[in-house]
């Protein structure tokens, strides 16, 4: 949330913004479960690789890949050729589902 610290009439403080702290520190833990890309995205398997075109990630998540521990996971929402919203690691190209601690899905279907 952002608030002006002075009124527009005074001309003072127009560029001074007071930011309230973000609540990310209280975010719930997520259980990450690896998903088979065949069930998540329309594509074709070639040898050890599964190729899918035109899949767009919309942002980085706080979680890192549990498999390679190097890639920051990217959120991939449902799209024309994406059947299930999931988290994706560009480093090792694995797909993950996210669950809350009680087992309910964290990503909208």
Backbone angles phi, psi at 53, to 5 degrees: -100, 155
Q: Give me the torsion for CA of 80, 99, 57, 51, rounded to 10°.
A: -60
Find the mean pLDDT for residues 1-11: 43
Average pLDDT, the chain: 77
- The tens digit of pLDDT for each residue in 52-86 reads 777 888 888 888 999 999 889 999 988 888 888 99
Q: What was the pLDDT predicted at 87? A: 93
pLDDT band at 34 (very low <50, low <70, confident <90, very high): very high
Q: What was the pLDDT predicted at 2? A: 39
Q: Single out the residue of 94, 45, 50 nearest to residue 68, CA to CA.
A: 94
SS3 24: helix
Domain locations in the chain as residue ranges? 27-99
pLDDT band at 3 (very low <50, low <70, confident <90, very high): very low
Enter the pTM of the model: 0.69
């Amino acid at each position: 949330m952002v608030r002006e610290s002075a009124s527009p009439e005074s001309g003072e403080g127009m560029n001074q913004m007071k930011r309230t702290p973000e609540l990310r520190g209280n975010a719930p833990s997520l259980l990450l479960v690896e998903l088979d890309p065949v069930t998540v995205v329309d594509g074709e398997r070639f040898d050890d690789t599964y190729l899918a075109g035109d899949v767009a990630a919309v942002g980085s998540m706080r979680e890192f890949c549990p498999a390679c521990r190097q890639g920051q996971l990217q959120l991939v929402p449902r799209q024309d050729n994406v059947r299930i919203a999931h988290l994706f690691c560009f480093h090792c190209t694995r797909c993950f589902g996210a669950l809350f601690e009680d087992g309910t899905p964290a990503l909208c279907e």
